[in-house]
Amino acid sequence: MQFKLFVPVLASALLSGCIIHVGDGYREKAGSSISTVLGGIDIEEGYLVGDLSTVNGGIKLENNVVAEDVDTVNGGIEMGDNVSIKDANVVNGNIEAGRNLRADGDITTINGDILLKSGADIKGDIETVNGDVSLNAARVGRDITTRNGDIELTEATTVMGDLVWQKSDNNSWTDNASIPVLRISADSIVEGEIKLYRKVELKLDNPSLKTKVRYLYSQE
């Protein structure tokens, strides 16, 4: 696989008010990293770039892109197949990836879902506060943590660390409609524990996983 190197110099592009499109017409722009305040970032297939960040705009990485830290405040991150990154962080928005995502660090959101198609390999943690996590034939090197979201692990997904539901800071999260759900297929594995600091509905196809559940809240 050959990657198209995006100008390997240390300067960064600081732009605002537009969508920054990295493709054949962008070769002469200086800077290995891209930052924009008002606008999105779109990286064409096969490009090698540095850090990418937006404040009000989404980030799209097409197939076979290699990037460093990918961060946005108000906007999602959309990645194609065979993308490699260091970290992905979103405040308000989803993180979605096609097949075979590679992340050397963490995948995190505050208000948004994390939806990864088959073959993802995440070396660090996956974390969201108000959002769901859906993994298919994935491997997670550390923990998966949420507060108010569902977690679904299917098709032989392996989590090397713990699954953690943090305590909700909202006292209204007590009715059945607000209870998050954990779904784990029979062929998926959690090497660590399932730590529950709040009520969670458990749908575990492999009954042996029940021995890993730790109820760390009052069940009265």
| pLDDT computed for residue 22 by the predictor | 80
Q: Which residues contact 175 (CB under 8 A, 6 or more apart)?
A: none
Over the range 99-128, which residues count as b (16 or more CB within 10 Å of their CB) and which as e? bbbbbebbbbbbebbbbbbbbbbbbbbbbb
| pLDDT computed for residue 25 by the predictor | 57
12-to-17, 20, 29, 30 alpha-carbon distances in Å: 17, 13, 10, 7
| pLDDT computed for residue 7 by the predictor | 39
| pLDDT computed for residue 9 by the predictor | 31
Phi, psi dihedral angles at 209 (to 5 degrees): -70, -20
Q: Which amino acid is at 12?
A: S
107 in Cβ contact with 90 (< 8 Å): no
pLDDT string in tens for the chain (220-residue length): 444 444 333 334 444 456 787 876 555 343 478 999 989 999 999 999 999 999 999 999 999 999 999 999 999 999 999 999 999 999 999 999 999 999 999 999 999 999 999 999 999 999 999 999 999 999 999 999 999 999 999 999 999 999 999 998 755 444 445 899 999 999 999 999 999 999 999 999 999 999 999 999 987 5
| pLDDT computed for residue 24 by the predictor | 62
| pLDDT computed for residue 173 by the predictor | 41
